[in-house]
């Protein structure tokens, strides 16, 4: 299976689909969410985004469907290009697909010894290898602290700097062996994954892209339209929560002269929706998922 979509039925249900409306799946991947949306459409349309060329193999044979092979940070421009503004609903299932984790040569997983790539779009941008071998140790420390929330970021960045001074670091296996002395034995797998997460976020500029997408989503939604976002780590979830509640990424509520909240979106609930035990048992990657839903004011 290319990808087992998390919170599939609940996320599509919360889009509150109008069979004749226009919807957007900004993270097409294996197409699980897209197919579930298409099942509920009649004369409606679905525009999907995915920058990974592997996703092209999953396009459904449906005239109502259009795939944009690009990053969702360009949401507004491509929706205008396809004459699809405003839209009724937008769904985002963030993070890395099961397929990307399971293909060794993509470099996303700690399970394989592969090239340090980690690009969502393998034909553009800097690779993890370039970042590891060229950035100053202080910048690597910032990345591991900010994006990996690692207490051992100083040790990790210095170990990398010392190792690359002797020979370039080219594979995931090399990287894991270099950082091992900085990690407790009982947590090597978990903390190595956090190092990989931090590098992946830097390589793909994931948090910047997410911010841009959220702001543009608020612009292209119809009043009453819904935005559904599923995230997998606290950095993403914090940005989504703050933007839904306050209209900014710091979470500072601002009001106009009349006391109205200056936020284009209104959360449906104060709490995130999480998968139940049954789904987590069937799909272990659902364990960290949090879903938030907001409507356009």
Q: If you average pLDDT over residues 10-15, what whole number do you get? A: 98
- Supply the CATH classification number for the domain 105-204: 1.10.150.170
Q: Give the tens place of pLDDT for each residue, 106-119.
A: 999 999 999 999 99
Least confident of 19-33, 218-232, 259-273: 259-273
Whats the size of the chain, residue-wise? 297
Of 89, 94, 36, 67, whose CA–CA distance to 217 is shortest?
Answer: 89
Any idea where the domains of the chain sit in the sequence? 8-98+206-296, 105-204
What's the gap between Cα 198 and its chain centre?
13
The answer to whether 89 touches 40, Cβ cutoff 8 Å, is no
What is residue 255's three-state secondary structure? strand
Q: If you average pLDDT over residues 28-52, what whole number do you get? A: 97
- Fold adopted by 8-98+206-296: Rossmann fold (3.40.50)
**Whole-model pTM above 0.85?**
yes
Q: Give the tens place of pLDDT for each residue, 132-186.
A: 999 999 999 999 999 999 999 999 999 999 999 999 999 999 999 999 999 999 9
Q: What is the pLDDT of residue 213?
A: 98
Q: Please say if the pLDDT value at position 261 is more than 90.
A: no
Asked whether the CA dihedral 72, 73, 78, 80 is positive or negative, the reply is positive
Q: Please say if the pLDDT value at position 222 is more than 80.
A: yes
Torsion, Cα 285 37 244 291, to 10 degrees, reads: -20
Q: What is the pLDDT of residue 256?
A: 86
Q: What is the pLDDT of residue 285?
A: 85
Higher pLDDT, 206 or 254: 206
Q: What is the pLDDT of residue 202?
A: 98
The C-alpha atoms of residue 173 and residue 109 are separated, in whole angstroms, by 10
Local confidence band at 95 (pLDDT 50, 70, 90 cut-offs): confident
Q: What is the pLDDT of residue 262?
A: 84
Q: What is the pLDDT of residue 3?
A: 82
Q: What is the pLDDT of residue 1?
A: 65
Q: What is the pLDDT of residue 235?
A: 96
Strand 65-68 with 45-49, pairing:
parallel
Q: What are phi and psi of 80, to 5 degrees?
A: -65, -40
The rounded percent of the chain whose pLDDT value lies above 90 is 90
């Amino acid at each position: 299976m290319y990808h087992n979509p998390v919170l599939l039925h609940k996320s599509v249900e919360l889009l509150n689909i109008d069979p004749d409306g226009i919807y957007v799946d900004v993270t097409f991947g294996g197409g699980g969410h897209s197919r579930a949306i298409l099942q509920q459409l009649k004369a409606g349309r679905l525009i999907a985004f995915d920058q990974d060329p592997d996703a092209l193999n999953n396009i459904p044979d449906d005239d109502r469907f259009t795939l944009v092979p690009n990053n969702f940070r360009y949401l507004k421009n491509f929706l205008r290009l396809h004459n699809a503004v405003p839209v009724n609903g937008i769904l985002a299932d963030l993070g890395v697909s099961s397929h990307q984790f399971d293909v060794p040569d993509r470099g996303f997983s700690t399970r394989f010894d592969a090239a340090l790539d980690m690009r969502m779009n393998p034909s553009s941008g800097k690779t993890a290898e370039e970042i590891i071998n060229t950035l100053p140790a202080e910048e690597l420390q910032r990345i591991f602290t900010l994006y990996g929330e690692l207490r051992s970021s100083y040790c990790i960045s210095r170990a990398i700097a010392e190792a690359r001074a002797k020979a370039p670091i080219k594979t995931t296996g090399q990287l894991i062996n270099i950082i091992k002395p900085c990690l407790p034995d009982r947590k090597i797998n978990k903390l190595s994954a956090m190092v990989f997460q931090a590098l992946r976020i830097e390589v793909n500029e994931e948090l910047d892209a997410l911010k841009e997408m959220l702001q543009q989503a608020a612009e292209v939604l119809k009043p009453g339209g819904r935005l559904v976002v599923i995230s997998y780590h606290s950095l993403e979830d914090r940005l989504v929560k703050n933007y839904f509640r306050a209209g900014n990424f710091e979470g500072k509520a601002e009001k106009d002269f009349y006391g109205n909240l200056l936020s284009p979106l209104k959360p449906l609930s104060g709490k995130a929706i999480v998968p139940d035990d049954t789904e987590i048992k069937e799909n272990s990657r659902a364990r960290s998922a949090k879903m938030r839903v907001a409507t356009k004011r």
